[in-house]
Amino acid sequence: MEPVNVAIIYYSATGTVHALAQAAAEGAEKAGAHVRLRKVRELAPQEAIDANPDWGRHIQETADVVEAGLDDLAWADVVLFGTPSRFGNPASQLRAFIDTTGPLWFQGQLTDMVFSAFTASNTAHGGQESTLLALGNTFYHWGGIIVPPGYADPVQFKSGNPYGASHVAGDGPPNDVALESARYQARRAVDTAAALKAGRAG
Ligand SMILES: Cc1cc2nc3c(=O)[nH]c(=O)nc-3n(C[C@H](O)[C@H](O)[C@H](O)COP(=O)(O)O)c2cc1C
């Protein structure tokens, strides 16, 4: 059977979500998938970026990461979205990318794809769940198959977020539990897509 194609499409200003995205890529690759790691386009004004040295540094460090396009969605069997929480919602940069998907949606190309999402916020109760649930609204519209990590692996009892891998950025860079949760989330999405693919082929 053809391998599962996974697009990991994320926005990260200062690197936290990027680290989760890389862990998700590792998890998907280990599960046998073909992976495209893609950042969405930066839309913030330069003066906002210049006001935060970590932001500019991260842009430079990830200059070689390819920007997401609609072809990545069309190629994928699984899409994992990553975003920091912005006042309890996904970042506008990721939303702007999602808002370009009308043509794919119209052609039914997003229907029956597997979707999952991961996030970061500065504080423990700063909106991780609401951010992931807000992305879920879009997955419903697309007719996607939402595969959350739940508590389906022991690491999830440590991470404590069944909606998606997440990290409190105020505590520092993602720890082993958050990274392992992202790897697990990707593996579960790949395994589900592989089972769907096999079932449809049969
Ligand atoms: C405009 C804005 C809004 C934010 N809103 C929240 C929020 O509602 N709750 C929270 O805990 N952190 C909030 N943060 C902090 C970010 O979520 C945090 O810096 C981010 O998760 C770090 O991820 P990154 O390193 O990938 O950019 C906000 C940051 C900005 C710039």
Look at residue 173 in the predicted model and tell me its pLDDT: 97
Whose tokens are 């690491």? That residue is 155
The answer to whether residues 118 and 20 touch, using CB atoms and an 8 Å cutoff, is yes
The answer to whether residues 121 and 129 touch, using CB atoms and an 8 Å cutoff, is no
CATH number for the segment(s) 5-201: 3.40.50.360
Give pLDDT tens digits for 112-170.
999 999 999 999 999 999 999 999 999 999 999 999 999 999 999 999 999 999 999 99
Look at residue 177 in the predicted model and tell me its pLDDT: 98
Q: State in Å: Cα 133 to ligand 1 middle.
A: 16
Mutating to test ligand 1, I would choose from 8, 122, 161, 167 the residue with most ligand atoms within 8 A of its C-beta, which is 122
- List of residues 6+ apart from 124 with CB closer than 8 A: 168
Q: Which amino acid is at 158?
A: K
pTM: 0.98
The answer to whether residues 17 and 11 touch, using CB atoms and an 8 Å cutoff, is yes
Rounded to an integer, what is the distance from CA 177 to the centroid of its chain?
A: 17
Look at residue 202 in the predicted model and tell me its pLDDT: 85
Q: State in Å: Cα 200 to ligand 1 middle.
A: 40
Residue range 188-200: average pLDDT? 96
90 phi-psi bin (left φ>0, alpha ψ -120 to 50, beta other): beta
Domain range list for the chain: 5-201
CA distances from 2 to 115, 144, 191 (A): 19, 20, 13
With a 6 Å cutoff on the Cβ, whether 88 touches ligand 1 is yes
Residue 196 has pLDDT above 90, yes or no: yes
Look at residue 1 in the predicted model and tell me its pLDDT: 78
Residue range 166-181: average pLDDT? 97
Mutating to test ligand 1, I would choose from 61, 121, 161 the residue with most ligand atoms within 8 A of its C-beta, which is 121
Give pLDDT tens digits for 7-32.
999 999 999 999 999 999 999 999 99
- Rounded to whole angstroms, the Cα distance separating 165 from 57 reads 24
The answer to whether residues 11 and 91 touch, using CB atoms and an 8 Å cutoff, is yes
Q: Which amino acid is at 79?
A: V
- Rounded to whole angstroms, the Cα distance separating 182 from 170 reads 18
CB atoms within 10 A of CB 200: 8
Closest CA to 182 of 120, 118, 123: 118
CA distances from 87 to 120, 131, 156, 176 (A): 12, 9, 25, 26
Give pLDDT tens digits for 85-113.
999 999 999 999 999 999 999 999 999 99
Give pLDDT tens digits for 32-73.
999 999 999 999 999 999 999 999 999 999 999 999 999 999
Q: State in Å: Cα 132 to ligand 1 middle.
A: 14
Q: State in Å: Cα 146 to ligand 1 middle.
A: 24
